[in-house]
Amino acid sequence: MVALCPDRHYRCVIYGLGPYIVDYPEQVLLACVVQGWCSWCTARNNDLDGLGGPCSQELREALIDVLEPQVLWDEYGIVYGVVPFTSYFPRADIHELMAPDLLHQLIKGTFKDHLVTWIHKYLEQEHGKQHAAAIIADIDRRIAATPSFSALQRFPEGRGFKQWTGDDSKALMKVYLPAIAGHVPPGMVCTLSAFLEFCYLVRRSVINEETLEAITMAVDRFHHERTIFQTTGVRAHFSLPRQHAMVHYRELIELFGAPNGLCSSITESKHICTVKEPWRHSNKFDALGQMLVTNQRLDKLAGARHHFTEYNMLDGPLLPVGTEAIRLDLDDDDDDGAADNDPATYVVKLASRPVYRVSGLVSHVADCLGLPKLQEEFQCFLYDQLYPFADIPGDRVDLCTCPDFRGKVYVFHSAKAMFFAPSDQSGVGGMRHEIIRATPSWRGGPGRYDCVYVAKGGVDAGFQSLLVARVRLFFSCGYNGCDYSCTLVNWFLPVAGEVGELTGMWIVAPETDNQDWRVQSVISLDSIIQSAHLIPVYGNDLVPIDFHFSETLDAFKAYYVNKYIDHHAHTLVF
């Protein structure tokens, strides 16, 4: 057919059905197979990960011609007398069109319904209900003690809430692995680690041959490690369609391309706008009519806005002439999001305006914020800036040799990191921003001092080319005609030269001096890459009941570098 394309050119177009993303119950319905069987392959329902070839409409029709309905049902999982809706479409086979659903198959299916449930069942089976309840309560406290991070959902009560949404499951996946380490056998920790690795690999926007091999290895490792649930008596078998779907992800990615987060949550988000929110605005009695009226009015408002925009009626200020609009500084609320900048290297900028009540002489800032060594550290920083090729770095020379700075500094409570985000929602150029905070009071509560990745140079790639630090202060000043944007940080050093065997995450520990004080340094803002997230290595210790998450980064001896905190960190840093 000749069709008008979006670029205003006419072309000959052949229409066809593309990949179909649905949850498993809908797959069963669309493919006309029996519950418990796979809609992609012919593996038996009691051994889904065993031998089996690809399903097809041609095979289905051939079996229906020669076998009885009961044999089809019992031996092949085929529903007799029901025809898939794609049967009459050219070049369309419903068994080939079933695409992976990251939300229901992996996040809500394998993670929430299977792994989390099995771990709790193991604890009850191994320790009894009373002791298991105490361990599960400690796991909840560990989850609640997770440090803050941009756009990370908090779980003040752990994972003990009644109704899990897709966003709840996604957020819990980011922090659940360190919380169970030490309470469950190493094999269960390895199982969850392999599963998370698989989830983040298939979520990438660009998948090459190397990534496909890593996906296959992650599936094989997951299948090997999950046998611990069998040996401990938690599970009798693993013939679970949602887990079995992991086997087909590689071939489906080769057919349809990288999912890049595409899943049924997109259509479910529309359900929130059209059903859940109108329900909340109704009086809950005979609500259907009220919900329909709400949706009609919202449609009319959207149509009016489109009409006004088309006739330029929404251009210019909307307030009356002579009324001054109050400038809103979004730094405090806009934690992260898309950035419409052109593709560029990593850029970190200070907040739009300093905190004037704290700014002043270095001695004044040090007294106000409780940073007694700020003057010394900044003088060492200036020495390194003035003499970059000196044989001895600034932190090892005599303080009398360093520049004597007595000027004024301007303090900032946040900075914005902008970077290319290949696996997250981003702006036109693929850029994304995150807010890094160093404030003595966050939203009226305790202080918040975020962690960052700092470039250390060298030829190594990934995490080995970086250092982890915790920001204590953002400030800027001028010296000898040059402007400096600086950061006072505490350092964290790797405990070993490789990732942890169980969790697959690097472990770092705070760097301390001879008096067991945490080492501080002033560094240039330009050396910061983006935000980092640390989670304590809890070991076998229990978290106190009254422990607050604002104390987490000060209270433990070692921390995991959380590579599962977001998809672009997993892609770029690790």
Percent of residues, the chain, with pLDDT higher than 90 = 51
Instruction: Point out the least confidently predicted range of 84-93, 173-182, 321-330, 494-503.
Output: 321-330
Largest CA distance in the chain: 95
8 Å CB contact between 125 and 516: no
More confident residue, 330 or 74: 74
pLDDT at 194: 96
Q: How far is CA 379 from CA 51, 312, 395, 479, 527, in A?
A: 68, 56, 9, 11, 18
Contacts of 518 (CB under 8 A, 6+ apart): 490, 491, 510, 511, 512
pLDDT band at 306 (very low <50, low <70, confident <90, very high): confident
Q: Are 473 and 369 in contact (CB under 8 A)?
A: yes
Model confidence at 285, pLDDT cuts 50, 70, 90, reads confident
Q: Give me the pLDDT at residue 427, please.
A: 62
**pLDDT > 90? residue 269:** no
- What are the strands, taking DSSP E only, across 43-170? 98-99
Give the pLDDT of residue 446. Answer: 92
Each residue of 511-549: pLDDT tens digit? 998 888 899 999 999 999 999 999 999 988 899 999 999
**Could you say which DSSP state residue 541 is in?**
P
| Joined tokens for residue 372 | 């007694």
Q: Where are the domains of the chain?
A: 2-98, 104-266, 338-573
H/E stretch holding 524 reads: strand 520-524
Global model pTM greater than 0.75: yes
Is the CB of residue 529 less than 8 Å from the CB of residue 455? yes
- As a whole number of angstroms, the distance between CA 200 and CA 186 comes to 21
pLDDT tens-place string over residues 61-71: 999 999 999 99
Name the nearest CA neighbour of 79 among 42, 29, 21, 45: 29
Tens digits of residue pLDDT in 431-455 = 788 899 999 998 889 999 999 999 9
- Mean residue pLDDT of the chain comes to 87
CA gap 221, 198 in Å, rounded: 10
- Check residue 340 and give its pLDDT: 61
Assess contact for 561 and 507: CB atoms under 8 A: yes
Residue that wins the pLDDT comparison between 343 and 42: 42
Residue 313 has what pLDDT? Answer: 81
Please check whether residue 436 is in contact with residue 471, taking contact to mean a CB–CB distance below 8 angstroms: yes
